[in-house]
Amino acid sequence: MRAPDGPGLDERTSVLVVGAGPTGLLLAAELRRRDVPCELIDAQPAPLPWDRATVMHPRSLELFESLGLSERLLDVGTPQRGARVHSAGEVLGAFDLAACGSRYGFSLGISEEVTESVLTDYLRALGGEVHRSSRLVGLTTRPDGITAEIDHGGSRGTVDAEWIVGCDGLHSPTREGAGLLLEGHDIAAAWAVFDVTLDGWTDVYDLTFVYLDEPPVILTALPGRRWRVYLRPDSPASDLVADAASTLSRYAPQVSFVDVENPTRFHCHSMVADHFRAGRVLIAGDAAHLCSPAQGHGMNTGLQDAANLAWKLALVQSGAADPELLDSYEAERRPVARTVAGEGDDFEHAETLTDAAERGARDRAMRATFADPAARHHEAVAEAELDVDYSASPIVFGEGGGPLNPGQRLPDTIAVDTPGQGPDRLHELAHRPGHTALLVGGPGATGAALADLLATLEERVAASRFLDAAVALGVAPDLPGAIGRLDADVCKLLGTDGVTLLAVRPDGYVGLRADSDHLDALERYERVLRTGRA
């Protein structure tokens, strides 16, 4: 058969991505950045003009920085530096994202359709495009791939792909065609949302305001001193603005709601797919998991799915790695999705309590949490999505037990001085489509030892299908010019005294840490990537 009559859609490709939300757009672009032939289809005839998702967390901003897109997002978004939680007319507490451990000490208020436009431009700059009005209606497994049947405005045709990734939401035809199942439950109480200007507002604009009253209301900041108001309506036919005003008037009676836009009711779900892969079919984003919108993790979790999957799928498609490497995608991302869904359930329960005694106990517990510096820090790190840890992954290994272990994110707040470039940050040295071999020489390492190991690693990079570069940094006074300098205090933060080799993955996580036998450990790590198992 042939491809349907959609403009420019190839009838044969390496990867077919289904669904052009943020997850699908990022995945398609990241595959093209790695020279993987890829087609992206979407059932909608045009991008949605408005979407209710509105928060981009620090970890997602780090991801966009690695692609050179963070400044564009910062230009069109507005900072949200934390949250303040209220109940019964009082403040229960607050947390500040400045303490989260990212150089982005804030979330970004930006409506999802704006994020999609930035990603669409990024995809087009890489030679890609969204093929719209193209609906997946069937999947047929072949010995060497998948045949996708696609309907484009009534014209049926097929696309042959080696891999298909469904980023196509709750009712994903990709997931259903592969026989994957969502496990979980519907969230019984309805949600509603609208955008508004709060006339008479005298408080700050860079916090999320949470009101655990009846009805519960959440205010998230948007550009232009606008707010996106999330609430649980009083009834299926209630006036949404009146519902929200009845709660907010307890705290800011002088405020009026003006210029209301996009009032919408919606239902949510707390579900995670039983598997994220079935042979040559994978799922990501809302096709793989759904959660309460209360904490803003849905879109952000999908973006991290795409960042995790893209480099692995590219290695498999190029023949550098066996398909078993893709099993690590589910092993790493499904536990994250389960945690996000579970925490969303906990918040849903706390938010919708109606019994006075239970609400009082909830408020006392929250006050205690916010009064504890360690608990407050935990809340900030979790909100920023910096608590994701892949240490249980089948494809990470090495020395652990220190401040930076295999499976953890490389910090983005460590300054270094690289040759010919001046001050830099450690994580920026690993902004590459492939792995970066990062040598760190502590107080016990000589410049000569670092230089010799760096020279050997550079030879390995030239022959490797996994490594893009080798970089060395140290504190010794005799460092050669090719080796960057870093402060001795940084070595304490990284837990290194002699020479430490970090293999930093394209998604910014440490795949390997070796404090000795560096070359043997690296060889083993590449073998693990090649085979997908230790």
State the Cα–Cα distance between residues 470 and 435, nearest whole angstrom: 9
| In the chain, % of residues over pLDDT 90 | 91
Q: What is the mean pLDDT of residues 240-245?
A: 97
pLDDT tens for residues 400-455?
888 999 999 999 999 998 887 777 899 999 999 999 999 999 999 999 999 999 99
- Do residues 383 and 95 lie in contact, with contact meaning Cβ atoms separated by under 8 Å? yes
Instruction: State both tokens at 413.
Output: 């707040």
Neighbours of 203 (CB within 10 A): 12
Instruction: State both tokens at 495.
Output: 């837990």
- Determine the pLDDT at residue 78: 97
Q: Does domain 12-54+111-181+274-352 have CATH number 3.30.70.20?
A: no
Phi, psi angle pair for 279, to nearest 5°: 65, -115
| The amino acid at 348 | E
State the Cα–Cα distance between residues 205 and 39, nearest whole angstrom: 40
Would you call 476 helix, strand, or coil by DSSP?
coil
For the chain, the average pLDDT equals: 95
With residue 90 as reference, give the H or E element that holds it: strand 90-96
With residue 16 as reference, give the H or E element that holds it: strand 12-18
∠ CA 381-386-388, nearest 5°, is 120
Phi, psi angle pair for 189, to nearest 5°: -75, 135
State the Cα–Cα distance between residues 501 and 406, nearest whole angstrom: 11
Q: How far apart are the first and last CA of the chain?
A: 41
- Determine the pLDDT at residue 1: 40
- Do residues 38 and 31 lie in contact, with contact meaning Cβ atoms separated by under 8 Å? yes
Would you call 232 helix, strand, or coil by DSSP?
coil
Entry field: residues in the chain: 534
Instruction: State both tokens at 160.
Output: 């042959």
CATH 3.40.30.10 domain extents, the chain: 397-531
Pair type for strands 12-18 and 82-87: unpaired
Burial of 181 (0-12, 13-18, 19+ CB in 10 A): exposed
Q: How confident is the model at residue 2 (pLDDT cuts 50, 70, 90)?
A: low
- Do residues 512 and 421 lie in contact, with contact meaning Cβ atoms separated by under 8 Å? no
State the Cα–Cα distance between residues 251 and 248, nearest whole angstrom: 5
Instruction: Give start and end residues of each alpha helix (H) in 385-487.
Output: 447-463
- The class that CATH gives domain 185-269 is alpha beta
CATH 3.30.9.10 domain extents, the chain: 185-269
Phi, psi angle pair for 181, to nearest 5°: -120, 140
Q: What is the mean pLDDT of residues 114-132?
A: 97
Q: Which of 228-232, 369-373, 484-488 has the lowest mean pLDDT?
A: 484-488
Instruction: State both tokens at 90.
Output: 């009082």
State the Cα–Cα distance between residues 159 and 142, nearest whole angstrom: 12
Q: Is the pLDDT assigned to residue 69 strictly greater than 50?
A: yes
CATH 3.50.50.60 domain extents, the chain: 12-54+111-181+274-352
Q: What is the CATH number of domain 397-531?
A: 3.40.30.10
∠ CA 416-419-425, nearest 5°, is 25
Put residue 517 in one of left, alpha, beta given phi > 0 → left and psi -120 to 50 → alpha.
Answer: left
State the Cα–Cα distance between residues 427 and 411, nearest whole angstrom: 6
Q: Characterize 116-134 residue by residue with b for buried, 16 or more Cβ atoms within 10 angstroms of its Cβ, and e for exposed.
A: bebbbebbeebebebbbbb
Cα 331 to its chain centre, rounded Å, is 16
pLDDT tens for residues 204-221?
999 999 999 999 999 999
Instruction: State both tokens at 420.
Output: 């010919």
CA nearest to 34, candidates 310, 303, 327, 428 = 310
Q: What is the mean pLDDT of residues 500-512?
A: 98
State the Cα–Cα distance between residues 459 and 185, nearest whole angstrom: 53
Neighbours of 236 (CB within 10 A): 7
Put residue 225 in one of left, alpha, beta given phi > 0 → left and psi -120 to 50 → alpha.
Answer: left
- Do residues 108 and 56 lie in contact, with contact meaning Cβ atoms separated by under 8 Å? yes
State the Cα–Cα distance between residues 450 and 457, nearest whole angstrom: 10
pLDDT tens for residues 14-68?
999 999 999 999 999 999 999 999 999 999 999 999 988 899 999 999 999 999 9
